[in-house]
Structure 1
Amino acid sequence: MIFKSGQSAEALPPCAQDIDFNRFGGPAMALRVGFGDDDTKVPEHRHAQGQLILALHGAVTCTAVGGLWLVPSGSAVWIPGGVPHSNQATHNARLIYLFVEPSESDLPPTCRSVSVSPMLREMILRLADVDHAAPDERTSRLMRVLLDELALMPNGGPVLPLTDHPKIALIAAALAADPADRRTLGEWARHVAVSERSLKRLMVKETGLTFSHWRRQLHLIIAVRELAGGATVQKVSGDLGYESVTAFIVMFKKALGVTPSRYRPHADLGSRQTA
């Protein structure tokens, strides 16, 4: 993982540890992050500070309490301070991590995908380029306006509901590890030792979705992430266990309104990244 900001990479603590804001002269700090082929997964960790993950290029999925969030290029996910979470980025992902002191903002206490306005995006990019150790008056004003704008961010982007119910969690973990697994609801019911009718009711109660809808949402999130990473439609279709590429294309277009080959995440901001 590569960090780029006003501080040297060597001076920055690992992302899985709390950021010491005493070393920085303001209520917020932004870091540019790039990934290599062998470091695209960030294991579960937590921060005392809230964190906004903004994708400049590629995509990242974030798993936390209650859901799996997709962050394609141009979008972001908000993670409140203290919430355990893990990330998986595409190998070409370039992100900005924005850390915010909880006492300095009115941001929500739960994770959510957010739509980032062009103005807010530019402010975050600007903050990533300043020297956090010695912010001037202009940078301090930028931080305050940025925090005010963050509190107004609208919801946006897909989320896959997750639950800590042991039977549903077991199925979710298995399908996340092997999304090509095509076991039916009845077969999963036998696997977790409940009746098919009970599992059907439990799935809706715990996630708000039917099993088929939940699995399709998982497939869409994985598909968008991998397509943003440069994977071919054929590879994604095979990885998700579709019998034919055509069946995958039909599912994708029905859900998102475009075919996988025409899908493009939000405007690519990779040209602004220096990693």
Structure 2
Amino acid sequence: MSDLMNALGAYMDSAEGPCVVAATRVLDRELSSEMHRHARGQLFGSIKGLISVQVDDGVWIVPAIHAVWLPPHQAHCGRSHGPYHGWSAYVAEAACADLPKRPCTIRVSGLLREAVLRLAGFPPGEPPSEAQSHVCAVVLDEIRSLPAEAFGLPLPRDTRLQRIARALMANPADARDIESWADFGALSSRTLSRRFVAETGFNFTAWRQRVRLLRSLEMLAEGMSVTAIAIDLGYASVSAYIGLFRRVFGETPASYRLHLQTKA
């Protein structure tokens, strides 16, 4: 696997080679990376497990049914939660002209996943065959046509709000009320409320709720029980957590975890 990744690495910042190159990774431990960027665009997701990705103005928690698209030169970092089986596709900058201009999440179609896995099977370092070029075209068509979905957590731009947001991301169970958070950020509660909506599209309560739910996805992937998650994240009861999870994601936490564990 290391030889494959080394060979693939030669393409990440190069226009040479196929317009799309891909690889898969299987690890029995967590995978993490520092903030970095590539000259190529990148699409990546998981076959089994959960990943989180951060860019300058947002964070995504990405289950196996979604993938993150990053345009060329986009700074990002990421990590998996628990054992990781995932894939990445790198798109030459010239082929990104009609692909999304900003980072986004897309729901992965069966066709897209299979096309990426097929590309990962082609030997790196060799001139692209006609078959490989056809599969590249399928991947590009799928990225271009699949709908973007709001599955991330936008970060505010105001440095005072960012301080509050990052504190909540570090400890989603923090139960301070909005007045206390406003004091923490050195601004009025009215300004906090107004600017949070303007800069993230969520009111403060909804944003905090989303932090907890997305963190709960990570905890589910790490094998924690539903009861422990509800307690650790400060929900009033286990049933309150389950009910909110079902309203947002359309299934119970237990069902969602089963999908994470059995997705193949």
Q: What is the TM-score when the length of structure 2 is the normalising length?
A: 0.89
* Candidates 215, 221, 224, aligned match of 1:222: 215
Deviations 1:42-74 (A, max 9, x none): 221111111101211111111113321121013
Shift in Å at residue 159 of structure 1? 1.5
* Residue 177 (structure 1) aligned to one of 162, 170, 186: 170
1:32 Cα shift? Answer: 0.8
Counterpart Cα distance in 1 of 2:88 and 2:247:
33
Aligned amino acid, residue 99 of structure 1: Y
The residue aligned with 1:93 is 84
CA distance in 1, matches of 2:84, 2:228: 19
Q: Are 2:112 and 1:120 equivalent residues in the alignment?
A: yes
Change (3 A) 1:35 1:178: farther
Closer, same or farther in 2 for the Cα pair 1:12/1:30, shift >3 Å?
closer
71-80 or 223-232: bigger deviation: 223-232
Please give the alpha-carbon distance, in whole angstroms, between the structure 1 residues aligned to 2:212 and 2:4.
38
CA distance in 2, matches of 1:227, 1:244: 17
Between 1 and 2, higher relative CO (CA 8 Å, sep ≥ 6) is seen in 1
1:66 aligns with 57
- CA distance in structure 2 between the partners assigned to 1:206 and 1:69 by the alignment: 17
For the 8 Å contact 1:80–1:110, the answer to whether it is kept is: yes
Compute the displacement of 1:227 (Å): 1.4
Structure 1 stretch displaced more, 74-83 or 144-153: 144-153
Stretch deviating more after TM superposition (148-157 or 94-103): 148-157
Provide the aligned length of Structure 1 versus Structure 2.
262
* Equivalent position to 1:55, from 28, 43, 46: 46
User: Within 2, Cα distance between the matches of 1:239 and 1:100?
Assistant: 40
**Letter matched to residue 85 of structure 2:** R
CA positional deviation for 1:203: 1.1
Verify: 1:136 aligned to 2:129, yes or no. yes
User: CA 1:35 to 1:176, structure 2 compared with 1: closer, same or farther past 3 Å?
Assistant: farther
The answer for unaligned runs of 5 or more in structure 2 is none
Superposition deviation, residue 246 in structure 1: 2.8
Which secondary structure does the structure 2 equivalent of 1:8 belong to?
helix
Name the SS for the 1:34 alignment partner. Answer: strand
- Distance in 2 separating the partners of 1:20 and 1:46: 9
Q: 1:195 to 1:18 in 2, by over 3 A?
A: farther
For residue 21 of structure 2, what is the aligned residue in structure 1?
29
Alpha-carbon separation, structure 2, partners of 1:144 and 1:253: 37
User: SS of the counterpart of 2:223?
Assistant: coil
Moved more, 199-208 or 135-144: 135-144
Change beyond 3 A, Cα 1:268–1:122: farther
Q: Let me know the Cα RMSD of the aligned residues.
A: 2.4
Mind listing any 5+ residue stretches in structure 1 that lack a counterpart?
A: none
Cα displacement (A) at 1:122: 0.7
Does the Cα contact within 8 Å between 1:35 and 1:91 map onto a contact in 2?
no
Quote the Cα distance in structure 2 between the aligned partners of 1:156 and 1:267. Answer: 19
Q: Which has the higher helix share?
A: 2
- Is this contact kept in 2: 1:53–1:97, CA < 8 A? yes
> Which residue of structure 1 aligns with residue 205 of structure 2?
212
Give the secondary-structure state (helix, strand or coil) at the position aligned to 1:174: helix
Deviation, 1:36, is 4.3
1:224 Cα deviation after fit: 1.9
Q: For the structure 1 residues 270 and 250, does the alpha-carbon distance in structure 2 shift closer, same or farther, using more than 3 Å as the test?
A: closer
Q: What secondary structure is seen at the aligned counterpart in 2 of 1:62?
A: strand
